[in-house]
Amino acid sequence: QCLQKPADVIGRSMNQAICIPLYKDARSMDCARRLLKFPFLWNNKTSNLHYLLFTILEDSVYKMCILRRHTDISQSVSNGLIGIKFGSFTSASADKVRRSSYSCLDAQFYDDETVTVILKDSMGREGRDRILVQLSLSLVYNSEDSDEYEFTGSYSTRLDEQGSIIPTRTMHFEKHWRLLESMRAQYVAGNGLRKVSCVLSSNLRHVRVFEMDIDDEWEIDESSDDEEEAGGKPVKIKEEVLSESETEAHQDAAALDPDVVIKVEKLDPELDS
């Protein structure tokens, strides 16, 4: 019976521990407050915490919210709800700062300590308006000022009605980000064990794979056009180079489906040092 109707069997074996209303759905999708591209749920088994990433569409697409709860509902956790805004991105090599309004397109946990986010620059031009970011939770949950970011509202009231009182931290980055050029990046999936992240375009035809090594220190090439803001590459995110066998396999797959574009890009040798 479990194999025939797994959803029914599993559903009957579970009990609701807590209910936190996020928003109210309306009959008409035009006037409904709903979550944008999220939610994404993560269970940190080491610290026994549940995390939920979400963005309330009509509240602010420029703010990503992180809700966390202890797996034991009898225990409380500090900074249970916090909003994240992305302020500026600085190039380490060119000493440039990108300031704009960044909307969150997608986000997933890379591992227990890091969230991978795709942002859209509202002021960026076509082909240079997507950014891949590694957000460290150690910066989000800073113990020194944690009291300033405690949610004072009620979890029994819909969160979309309390958007203005959700404590919000603005993050500024000098590292751990990359400008995704010539790609309308829309979705991301990461694997901290394999240290890779996959970025998928909005038309589902373009995939890019990145090797994400946060502990790897290396500098980027500075021979870029100033007007192109070439400093928009990170010092700790580098694109994976596929082997010849992998390249041939991707080319064979593309031949079977001409609608799928598989792009294989190699790093500048100066970057892979």
Each residue's pLDDT tens digit, 179-236: 998 889 999 998 888 889 999 999 988 999 988 765 544 333 333 334 444 334 433 4
Each residue's pLDDT tens digit, 46-80: 999 999 999 877 667 789 999 999 999 889 899 99
**23, 59 contact by CB (below 8 A):** no
Q: What is the pTM of this model?
A: 0.73
* Residue 80 φ/ψ region, left for φ over 0, alpha for ψ in the -120 to 50 degree band, beta for the rest: alpha
CA angle at 151 for the pair 147 and 155, rounded to the nearest 5°: 150
Task: Give a yes or no: residue 176 inside a domain.
Answer: yes
Task: Give a yes or no: residue 4 inside a domain.
Answer: no
User: Which residues make beta-bridge pairs with 18?
Assistant: none
Q: How confident is the model at residue 2 (pLDDT cuts 50, 70, 90)?
A: low
Q: Report the chain's mean pLDDT, rounded to a whole number.
A: 75
Distance CA 41, CA 10 (A): 18
**87, 55 contact by CB (below 8 A):** no
Task: Give a yes or no: residue 270 inside a domain.
Answer: no
Distances (CA, A) of 226 to 95, 205, 209, 237: 11, 31, 27, 21
**221, 270 contact by CB (below 8 A):** yes
Residue 95 vs residue 11, higher pLDDT: 11
Task: Give a yes or no: residue 1 inside a domain.
Answer: no
Residue 140: DSSP 8-state: H
Task: Give a yes or no: residue 78 inside a domain.
Answer: yes
pLDDT at 29: 54
CB under 8 Å to 245, separation ≥6 — which residues?
Answer: none
CA angle at 105 for the pair 93 and 98, rounded to the nearest 5°: 25
pLDDT at 233: 40
CB under 8 Å to 252, separation ≥6 — which residues?
Answer: none
Task: Give a yes or no: residue 2 inside a domain.
Answer: no
Each residue's pLDDT tens digit, 16-46: 777 888 777 665 555 555 555 567 899 999 9
> Structural domain tally of the chain?
1
Range of the domain at 245: 17-23+31-262
The answer, yes or no, to whether residue 174 has pLDDT greater than 90, is no
Tokens 């991301």 sit on residue: 188
Task: Give a yes or no: residue 267 inside a domain.
Answer: no
Number of H helices and E strands in the chain, helices first, is 3, 15
CB under 8 Å to 225, separation ≥6 — which residues?
Answer: none
Tokens 């380490």 sit on residue: 92
pLDDT at 125: 80
> Chain centroid to CA 270: how far?
28
Phi and psi at residue 91, to the nearest 5°: -85, 125
From the number of C-beta atoms within 10 Å of its C-beta (0-12, 13-18, 19+), residue 76 rates as exposed
Task: Give a yes or no: residue 272 inside a domain.
Answer: no
